[in-house]
Each structure stands twice: as C-alpha cells, then as structure tokens.
Amino acid sequence: MARNRTRGIHPVASRVLAIDAGNTRVKWGLHDGTHWLKSGHIETAKAAQLKTVFSRLPALSAVLVSNVAGAAARAALERALPKAPAARWIRSAAAQCGVRNSYAKPAQLGCDRWAALIGARHVHRGAAVVVNAGTALTVDALSADGVFVGGIIVPGAELMRSALARDTAGLRRRPGVFSFFPDNTGDAIVSGAVNALCGAIERMARNLEAGGGQEVLCVLSGGAAGLIAPQLNLELKVVDNLVLEGLSVICRDTAS
C-alpha cells in the first residue's frame, strides 16, 4: 500500500482483508482504515468455502493473515484468497507498532498472540493482560511502556471438559452452568473450568501489577469471553476479534 510520492497522490480508499485462522474457526474482516465494513467466520475445516465469500468483496488494497492452524489451513486459505494483492502471512517480530517482544526467540511467539498484543496496545496505553479465550486460553502480560513481558497458555474450557470426559470414568460431558457453590456434577465441571481460567488471568494481572505498580486492565477477546467475563475480578475491556484489530494496525503501520 505504498503512496505515490512523486505526485503526492494518495491511494484509492484502503480496503484491508484481515484473517485470523485459529484451531477452531477462521475469522475475517474487511477494514477501510477507520471501520470494519464486513466480517464473518467459518469452521477452520471448511476454510476452502471462503473462496465464494471473498470473491464477492470489492477490490482490496491489502490482505493480512494470522494462521496458527497449520499447513492444511494455510493451503485452503491460499486457494480461497483472491490472486491480488498477494497475502501477507504475518510473523511475530522483535518490535512492531509500539510493542516490544521479550520472548526468548521472538519469532516463536504465536502470530495470533502478537497481533492481539498490538491490537490491545492500540486500544489501551497502560499495563494490560491480553487474553484470548478460544480453544486454548492465552494470557499475555503487556507493560505500560509497551513491552510484552511474557505469557501463559492454558487449555480452554471446552478442552478441560473434554479431558475430564475422556480420561475419567464418571465425569462424562453433561450440561452445566457456573455457580460459586455447585450442587451437581455438570455445574461442578463448568464452574471448575471457569474458575481455573479466571484464576490464571487474575494471577497474571496481580503479578504484573506488583511488578509495575500500576492498575492493570484485562483486554479480553475470543469465543469464550462471554463465559469468563462475568466472573473476572478485574477492570475489563472486551474487544471483539482482537487479532483482527491488531492486523489492521499492522497494515496501517506498514503503509505509513
């Protein structure tokens, strides 16, 4: 998305297709530099079906993809994407868009986590725990000066429930809701999973708060955000599709 600097002409209206390919779903959004114009999602196993969806989009100025779903998902998306412009498959960097990466090997940080950190930095300039509640729960600590300090990965609520059903004799999957004091097995399993996830988030927030002396905001995204958010004892900001937000920020930064 380079500018024509010789004549001072700016490009035609920006239309960025951002794609977040996760283990369960592929989420996508069309951004014009200010607003999301369209968005959607599909099961990752059905990613090839996005070819029809993408063929109906207007001309694009850029395509950015975060893919943590492996080679098969990438191949399906490559078949579904328009031929031009060429897609940019992002990787984590040592520093980008005001965020510095403290991972021992920066490129090994999941690109979805990196995009989410950048998205979180864009919506909040203070210290934050950046949480994506999907198939797995990731909880990443972002200091007030934009340093990714480190983070954890925890099985998500559905993975926890599936593991209990698979590996125990009497804890098969059954309906349940959250309760502080569950009085049946279904509620006990759901409540245990939610408490474990909230505990991981709150512990990371307290450690970050203790280290920096600042109140910490939890920036929460992902399909299980609605399950977790009501039980968190933290200042909270829920952001739909935080990875896509980060991809749009990366695209604008690259184009400037």
pLDDT digits (tens, 9 = 90+) for 60-103: 999 999 999 999 999 999 999 999 999 999 999 999 999 999 99
Is position 250 within any domain? no
Asked if 104 and 204 sit in the same domain, the reply is: yes
By annotation, the residues acting in catalysis are 112
Phi-psi region of 172 (alpha: psi -120 to 50; beta: other; left: phi over 0): beta
Ranges assigned E (strand) in 102-191? 128-133, 136-142, 147-155
Residue 38, domain extent: 16-89
CA distance 231 to 19: 30
Is position 253 within any domain? no
Asked if 189 and 64 sit in the same domain, the reply is: no
Query: Do residues 144 and 117 make contact, with C-beta atoms less than 8 angstroms apart?
Result: no
Model pTM? 0.90
Query: Do residues 18 and 31 make contact, with C-beta atoms less than 8 angstroms apart?
Result: yes
Our count of domains for the chain comes to 2
Is position 22 within any domain? yes
pLDDT digits (tens, 9 = 90+) for 91-108: 999 999 999 999 999 999
Q: Is the pLDDT of residue 213 over 80?
A: no
The residue among 89, 106, 122 that closes a domain is: 89
pLDDT digits (tens, 9 = 90+) for 167-203: 887 788 888 999 999 999 999 999 999 999 999 999 9
The CATH number covering residue 218 comes to 3.30.420.40
